[in-house]
Chain A
Amino acid sequence: MYGDLVNKLVLEAKRAQQLNESSKSEHLPMYQDDLVRNTLREIEQLKRDAELLKSQQELNQVEDKVARCQHFVTLLCMERNKRGLLAYQKLRSDTLDAMAWNKHGLDSVTALAAGEGADASLSHQEEEYLKDYTQIIADMKSGEFTDIDLSGSLTPPSDVFIDVRVLKDAGEIQTEYGVFNLIKDSQFFARQADVERLIQQGFLQRL
C-alpha cells in the first residue's frame, strides 16, 4: 500500500531512538538502504502519476473533479513519504551530532575511524556529513573559544581532586601537567581537570 514502506522506516527510527534512550549512549543501527531506495522509487512512481494526471487534465480542458482529487491524493502520498524520510534522516543525523560532540575532539582530535566503531552502518552521505560536522566543531573550538573545553564534561565540578582507577592499560599518557603511568588496576589521586578527558575516553573510572 501507499506509504507502507515509509511506515517501516519510521518504526525503525523509533526503535533506534528508544535504544539510545534506554542505554544512555549513542548507538546507530544499520542504515536501511533498501527501504529508503524503495520509498524513493515509490515517490518517483507517484510523481509520474501526478504528471500524467496533470497532462490529461490539460488535454481535456474540462473541470473534472475526480481527476483533481486523484491528483491531490497522489501529492499527499508523496508528501507523506517525504516526511517519513526526513524524520528518519533527522533522527540519524541527531545521533551523529551527539556522537561528534561526545567522542570526538577530546584531548587530541582522534581520527574518525578510531571513534566510530560502526562505520559500516553509516551511509556514504552520512559519513561525509559526520566528517564535516566534526570539522565545524573543531573550527569553532579553535576559533573564539580556545580556553573553553566546549565538548567537556557537563556535570558541574564538585571536588578539585578525585580518586580514579585505571580500567585498561594505556601505557604512559602525557597530560598537560605531567606524565601519568597508567597501569591497569592502579589508583590515582589526581586533579579532576586533568583526568576528565581520560575518563570520557574510558581509560579511567571515577571513584
Chain B
Amino acid sequence: MSLPKTLQQTFSPEEIQFIVENEPIRIFPRITVRSTVRQRRQRSSQQQMRWRLVTAEETPLNNMVATQTTEVALWLALLLKQQGKCSIVPPVWLTLKQLQMYIDYELKNPGRFSDLPMSWLVVAQLLFNRAADDLQDPVHLLRGKIQDLREIRQGKIFQGLKQLNESHLQLDNLSILEINELRPFVLGVMNKLKDLHASVADEEEGA
C-alpha cells in the first residue's frame, strides 16, 4: 500500500514530535522585528522582510521586541533558538519544584496519573536537547526527575494493563507518547477480547 505497514495503525515517534511541535510556547526574542512608526512611514520606499506564514499566527513574529516575551509555535521557537535569536521560556511544569510535586502526587495516588500536560515527555526531551541553557534548574537534575516520573507512570501503566477488558479502558492524563507506545498492544488485545466476548454472547443468545 501507499503507507508502510508500520505506520498504518499508529504514529511513529517522529510524527508525535511533529504534532507536539505545533503547540505554542513562550520565548524571549533576542532580535527586534517590530518596526517603529518612522520605519513604517518609510516602508513605501523600501520593502522590509516580514514573516508570512500559512499555518501559524504571524503577528507575534512581526512584532518581536528583544527581551519581551511572546508566544510562538514550538517549531519556530526551536528554529530561532538554533540560530541564537531567542531563548525559550521553559513551561511552568518544567521546574524541579513542580516536578517534585507531580512525583509526590503520583506516589500518593497509585490509582491515577497526575495531570501533566499531554506532551510533557516530548517537550521535555526537545528542550533538554536543544534549549538546555534556558532551563531554570540544572538539566541533569531535571532529567532525573523526568525519568523518575516516567518510571512511576510506566509502573502504573503495567498495573493498569491487568484491567484490560473487551469494552472500555479509562486512561486520564496519559500523555500522547505513552498512549502511542501502548496502542498496538492494547488495541490488539482488546480486539481479541471483544471477538471472544461476542462469540460467547452469540452462543448465549442462541441457547
* Chain A residues close to B by CB (< 8 Å): 21, 94, 97-98, 101, 150-151, 154-156, 158, 160
Contact = CB atoms under 8 A, between A and B. Distances in A.
B3 A154 contact: yes
A98 B1 contact: yes
Nearest to B16: A156
Given A94-B1, A101-B1, A155-B14, 17 more contacts: A97-B2, A98-B1, A98-B4, A101-B2, A150-B2, A151-B2, A154-B3, A154-B4, A154-B7, A155-B12, A155-B15, A156-B14, A156-B15, A156-B18, A158-B14, A158-B17, A158-B18
A156 B5 contact: no
20 contacts: A21-B5, A94-B1, A97-B1, A97-B2, A98-B1, A101-B1, A101-B2, A150-B2, A151-B2, A154-B4, A154-B7, A155-B12, A155-B14, A155-B15, A156-B14, A156-B15, A156-B17, A156-B18, A158-B18, A160-B79
A139 B14 CA distance: 30
Contacts of B3: 154
Contacts of B17: 156, 158
Nearest to A137: B2
Assign chain B's interface to a size class. 10 to 19
A150 B15 CA distance: 17
Nearest to A157: B18
Interface string B152-170: 0000000000000000000
Interface in B1-57: 1-5, 7, 12, 14-15, 17-18
B74 to A, nearest CB: 12
A155 B17 CA distance: 11
A94 B1 CA distance: 6
Contacts of B15: 155-156
A151 B4 CA distance: 11
A156 B4 CA distance: 15
Contacts of A160: 79
Chain B CB within 10 Å — which of A21, A151, A156, A160 has the most? A156
A160 B17 CA distance: 16
A204 B23 CA distance: 33
Contacts of A150: 2
Contacts of B5: 21
A101 B1 CA distance: 7
A156 B14 CA distance: 6
A98 B8 CA distance: 13
A136 B7 CA distance: 23
A75 B17 CA distance: 53
A119 to B, nearest CB: 22
A160 B79 CA distance: 9
Nearest to B3: A154
Nearest to A17: B5
A171 B32 CA distance: 45
Nearest to A97: B1
A150 B17 CA distance: 21
A154 B14 CA distance: 10
Contacts of A155: 12, 14-15
Nearest to B82: A159
Contacts of A101: 1-2
Which 4 A-B residue pairs are closest in the complex by CB-CB distance? A156-B18, A155-B14, A101-B2, A156-B14
